[in-house]
Chains A and B, each alone.
Chain A
Amino acid sequence: METKRKRNQIIGDIVGLFFTVVIFLIPFYFMFVQSIKSKKEANRLSIAWPTELHFENYIEVVKHGNYQLVTAFKNSGLLTLFTVLGLLLTGAMAGYVIQRRKGKLMTAIQSTIMLGLMIPASILPTIRMLQSMGIYKTMFSMVMIEIALQTPFTIMLYRGFMASIPVDLEEAASIDGCSRWQIFSKIIFPLLKPIQATIIILVGVQTFNDFTNPLYFLPGAANTTVQLTLYNYKGQLANTYNLLFADIIIITVPMLILFLIFNKRIVAGMVAGAVKG
């Protein structure tokens, strides 16, 4: 019995690793290996290791189009930073009160915001509205749109997590004379750290990797984001796959670093949000 179980486990490991490598890792190897080939070799699109290593592809793609990629990194970085910070604060405040207070008003507010999980954004009326407010093609409006689109999911995660924090804490703090804002900022907000790690990675990846929304709401060369450079290079660099894949690698690395920092938190956060919520 015991030896049979051990044998099954080893077979499971081997089969699992085999399929993981073939299905999930080969595409990444494919991306990387193209990015360090010469132009001629990369155009064959094979997975063979390059005869010569060409790491200068990375420098070349950064220089391409008058350092467009640098501008794009600055824009995507700012967009992601402000969206994450904005959602961490506004989402926590809303999720806290929505979870704690009952009553018709709160139910109505919650149902309204949760509509955003289902229904799609209306793109052209949004552009029209931004134009009339005079903020179309600005970083501010782009951040607001990203926050608006990701508010329902963020509140859902916060609300689910709030349910595990005992109410006694707030009552004790209130007796000790803390104001409502102090109770939230000094006592509750620091306790939300575990779910905030989940939100940072999910919102961060979503915003940094967003293609569609910047395509509509942030057009123009000076406003370009990393995903749009990739889309533009697809046309401009049609026969230089090595540079195209170098771009892919460069814009993926920041998310990889974020993942390595917050890896352990992802499942824990999902337990709180998607399952209990």
Chain B
Amino acid sequence: MTKTKEKSLYSVWFVVPSLVIFLVFFLWPVISSLYYSMTVWNFETATFNGLENYKLFFTDPAMSTSVPHTLLYAFATSGLKVVLAFFIAIFLTSSIKSKDFIRSAVFFPNLVSTMAVGLTFAYMMHPTKGLLNVVIKGVTGSGVDFLGNPSTALWSIIATDVWKGLSISVVIYIAGIQSIDQSYYEAASIDGANWWQQITNVTLPLVAPAQNSIIILSLIGGLRTFDLIWAMTGGGPGFATDVLASVIYKQYAAGFYGLSTAGNVVMLVLISVIAFPLQHFLNKREEAIR
């Protein structure tokens, strides 16, 4: 189609509502955060103080430890989802009779709010009465204080996140697997490939576009996580489960708006330096396979 025809058929004005809402209510605050993160402010007046907020952020362990926690949380949840969801999706695209039921059941947690899931699991992990501890005590004789012990708290929240977030990854994988042409499998089985070889040599490479979406979506979701942490531990015990988003909220609640905004910018930078190169790499990998 020619350029003029394109212009006569499709008006640029159609993009304007989306673009204006996006620029005003999302992008402008992001850009202005770079300035406000270098000030002491109370919404009315802002006094410039250079990099003081950042210095404080990285020297106070109550805030600085949130960075490794955030990274661990994001990479662990994303990695677990990418691997577990793949096998569940393989299972659910096979000739199993109960797959419709299982697919709905796996999708179920996605309908429940993070707040509700967080509370439910926190009660199931209750150190003495919780369901999980009743089972564990029955087997080993002593319970585990999942959320009260600093060394298990973050991993307990990670496990809950995987439980809740697995379904979206499974759905994306299923969509990817279903769009693979059956003839690839026929050709592979004529060549004598067994079930496992078909999965590793046909399904896995051809599902790469779906897999890349999952890696990126779950990693970014993990880096931004807030409500599950807030529902289950509130960042505790101590700061053992504080992540960037919970520090941002705590500093806001304490009235340190500049510091909170600096935390917001740290998150922005962290996501940018991880997600953009990663996406570039994954796209390259996808092209190489084709």
Decide yes or no whether B40 CB sits under 8 A from chain A.
no
A125's partner among B24, B210, B261, B271 (CB-CB below 8 A) is B261
Query: Contact mask B253-289 → A, CB, 8 Å, 1/0?
Result: 0000100110011011001100110000000000000
Decide yes or no whether B190 CB sits under 8 A from chain A.
no
Decide yes or no whether A81 CB sits under 8 A from chain B.
no
Total contacting residues, chain B, CB less than 8 A: 96
Query: Contact mask A202-246 → B, CB, 8 Å, 1/0?
Result: 000100110110011000000000110011001000000100110
CB neighbours (8 Å) of B111 from chain A are 205, 252, 255-256, 258-259
Decide yes or no whether A31 CB sits under 8 A from chain B.
yes
Decide yes or no whether B130 CB sits under 8 A from chain A.
yes
A42 — nearest CB in chain B belongs to which residue?
B123
Decide yes or no whether B290 CB sits under 8 A from chain A.
no
Decide yes or no whether B106 CB sits under 8 A from chain A.
yes
Q: Check if A97 sits within 8 Å of B27, measured CB to CB.
A: no
Q: Check if B210 sits within 8 Å of A116, measured CB to CB.
A: no
> In the complex, what distance in Å separates the CA atom of A116 from the CA atom of B115?
24
Decide yes or no whether A109 CB sits under 8 A from chain B.
yes
Report if A20-B106 is in contact (Cβ < 8 Å); known contacts: A124-B261, A211-B114, A211-B115.
yes
Report if A24-B171 is in contact (Cβ < 8 Å); known contacts: A118-B275, A149-B26.
no
> In the complex, what distance in Å separates the CA atom of A205 from the CA atom of B153?
28
CB neighbours (8 Å) of A13 from chain B are 96-98
Q: Check if A124 sits within 8 Å of B28, measured CB to CB.
A: no
CB neighbours (8 Å) of B176 from chain A are 275
Q: Chain A interface: which of B3-11, B59-67, B73-81, B137-145?
A: B3-11
Report if A94-B10 is in contact (Cβ < 8 Å); known contacts: A16-B102, A24-B105, A45-B131.
no
A272 — nearest CB in chain B belongs to which residue?
B175
Decide yes or no whether B196 CB sits under 8 A from chain A.
no
A252's partner among B24, B95, B113, B257 (CB-CB below 8 A) is B113
A97 to chain B, nearest CB (A): 4
CB neighbours (8 Å) of A125 from chain B are 29-30, 32-33, 36, 261
CB neighbours (8 Å) of B245 from chain A are 212
CB neighbours (8 Å) of B175 from chain A are 267-268, 270-271, 274-275
Decide yes or no whether B189 CB sits under 8 A from chain A.
no
A230 — nearest CB in chain B belongs to which residue?
B115
B132 to chain A, nearest CB (A): 10
Q: Check if A275 sits within 8 Å of B209, measured CB to CB.
A: yes
B172's partner among A129, A148, A259, A274 (CB-CB below 8 A) is A274
Which residues B223-263 have CB closer than 8 A to chain A?
A: 223-224, 226-227, 230-231, 245, 248-249, 252, 257, 260-261
CB neighbours (8 Å) of A24 from chain B are 105-106, 108-109, 163
5 A–B contact pairs at CB < 8 A? A20-B102, A27-B124, A124-B252, A144-B21, A270-B172
The 4 A-B pairs of least Cβ separation, nearest first, read A122-B33, A209-B113, A148-B25, A94-B18
Known A122-B30, A256-B111; further 16 A-B contacts with Cβ < 8 A: A12-B96, A13-B98, A24-B106, A93-B14, A118-B271, A120-B264, A120-B271, A122-B33, A184-B14, A209-B114, A211-B230, A231-B115, A234-B231, A248-B119, A267-B178, A275-B176
